[in-house]
A and B are shown apart, each in its own frame.
Chain A
Amino acid sequence: MSKFKKNSKRESGAISTASLPDIVFMLLFFFMVATVLRTEEEMVKVVRPEASEIYKIEKKHLIRYINIGPPQDKRYGTEPVIQLNDQFADVVQIRDWVENERLTLAEAEQTKMWVSMKVDQDTKMGVVTDVKQELRKASALKVLYSASSRDRTN
């Protein structure tokens, strides 16, 4: 018995928490580096519609974005506008934009470019149709209508 008692008398020192901040900071930095941030500022308000037949693009570098929605800044009005890269654009500029964006891809991947259309759900189809027609003329035929996922209805 005495043998055990002797042992239990020894006090174990408190675990040092001095390295805890370092660990958390490492976590923080990991997240900061690992998250893919939005590469461009969103200048239009987009509430994406919901859909159940969702497709996820694996190769993110192939995606180019077209945003359509009412401007964030009220000074530009409330009518839906088109945003290409980080500026407002007109429908006729889309063809040039597609050409330019295509050139940023490697030659072998130029035909695999995706255009992701982030369109606000309250936008009227007129603008969207015009954009689609321009995309067809520019032969950018792979389109993703950006949506958030939901379950299938029965």
Chain B
Amino acid sequence: MARREIPEINAGSMADIAFLLLIFWLVTTTIDSDEGVKRQLPPPVPPDMEQQEVKDGDVYNVRTNFRDELLVEKEVLSIGQLKDGAKDFLVATGTGLLHPERPNITLGDDNMKYPERQWVRKAELTVLEQSYIAAGQDKRAEKVREKLTAIALFGSDYKELPGSALISLQTDRNTSYDLYLQVQNELEAAVNELRDELSLAKFNESYASLEERYSRTKEASLLDKIKAIRLVFPQRISEAEPRDASQGYY
């Protein structure tokens, strides 16, 4: 028998086959994405804790119901209006740095619409710091020092939100998760936008970029700026203890 010559296999299409495999792989793999809205849950409440009294104007009440409707400060709002409402609340009677002082709001009223921002003055703080140091209360002195740094960075005194001012969110058990997340997102957007605004005016850089640069470089001067802005616009979103609000509807 005559030996047949084995013809050489053409490998020209090999590359195409490999490319096909590669593309198939790229299309079918789902890469886990770990991004989302960050939240710190409150620690469990001890049963014997007393309910704190808060002024009506100091809490911005956001409620959602089972029909995915929003009730904000006893008014029905759409999700698109929530951010501006929250911003108004957080600016309140003005920061003393940027915003107009809102002359049309009558303060001292029983039914105050906004929390009253209080002046943080350098002269008072310096005295306070000395007294804390003398009393050996280091933690409190440290807090006062943070405020002093903020004043130095802003170049002027500022007004801070009262400690009791917060945004309270209460969801019904039958609210959709989507709406809940949108509300959380809008509230956070309100804080972030105000922070950006202030940061751009004072430091010529957005707050987001400050944070991003700090996470890379860990520069202490950046942290001071971030802390200063957080003092003026703290993120205080509290979630009320859950309750089945739908009970009242039926």
- CB within 8 Å of B: which residues of A? 17-18, 20-21, 24-25, 27-28, 31-32, 35-39, 48-49, 51-57, 60, 63, 116-117, 119-126, 128-129, 132-133, 135-137, 139-149, 152-153
Contacts of A37 in B (CB 8 A): 29, 31-32
Q: How far is the CA of A38 from the CA of B184 in the complex (A)?
A: 27
User: Is B21 an interface residue, CB under 8 A from the partner?
Assistant: yes
Q: How far is the CB of A99 from chain B (nearest CB, A)?
A: 15
Q: How far is the CB of B142 from chain A (nearest CB, A)?
A: 22
Q: A24-B22, A136-B42, A153-B83 are contacts. A145–B175 as well, Cβ < 8 Å?
A: no
Check A53–B185 contact: CB distance below 8 A.
yes
Contacts of A54 in B (CB 8 A): 35-37
Considering only residues 22-59 of chain B, those with a C-beta below 8 Å from chain A are 22, 25-26, 29-44
User: Is B112 an interface residue, CB under 8 A from the partner?
Assistant: no
Contacts of A56 in B (CB 8 A): 34-35
Check B173–A124 contact: CB distance below 8 A.
yes
Q: How far is the CB of A135 from chain B (nearest CB, A)?
A: 6
Q: Contacting A145 at CB < 8 Å: which of B19, B26, B172, B184?
A: B184
Check B34–A60 contact: CB distance below 8 A.
yes
Contacts of A136 in B (CB 8 A): 41-44
Contacts of B182 in A (CB 8 A): 49, 51
Q: Contacting A38 at CB < 8 Å: which of B30, B38, B39?
A: B30
Q: How far is the CA of A135 from the CA of B39 in the complex (A)?
A: 12
Q: Contacting A121 at CB < 8 Å: which of B40, B176, B186?
A: B176
Q: A17-B15, A31-B25, A53-B188 are contacts. A147–B180 as well, Cβ < 8 Å?
A: no
Q: How far is the CA of A115 from the CA of B29 in the complex (A)?
A: 23
Contacts of B32 in A (CB 8 A): 36-39
Size class of the contact patch on chain B: 35 or more
Q: How far is the CA of A27 from the CA of B80 in the complex (A)?
A: 46
The interface bits of chain B over 193-236 (1 if a CB of A lies within 8 angstroms of the residue's CB, else 0) are: 10000000000000000000000000000000000000000000
Check A147–B36 contact: CB distance below 8 A.
yes
Q: How far is the CB of A55 from chain B (nearest CB, A)?
A: 4
Q: How far is the CB of B52 from chain A (nearest CB, A)?
A: 19
Check A144–B37 contact: CB distance below 8 A.
yes
Contact sample, A vs B, 7 pairs, CB 8 Å cutoff: A24-B18, A37-B31, A53-B185, A60-B34, A122-B176, A149-B35, A153-B189
Contacts of B26 in A (CB 8 A): 31
Q: How far is the CB of B233 from chain A (nearest CB, A)?
A: 14
Check A28–B22 contact: CB distance below 8 A.
yes
Q: How far is the CB of B159 from chain A (nearest CB, A)?
A: 25
Check B175–A125 contact: CB distance below 8 A.
yes
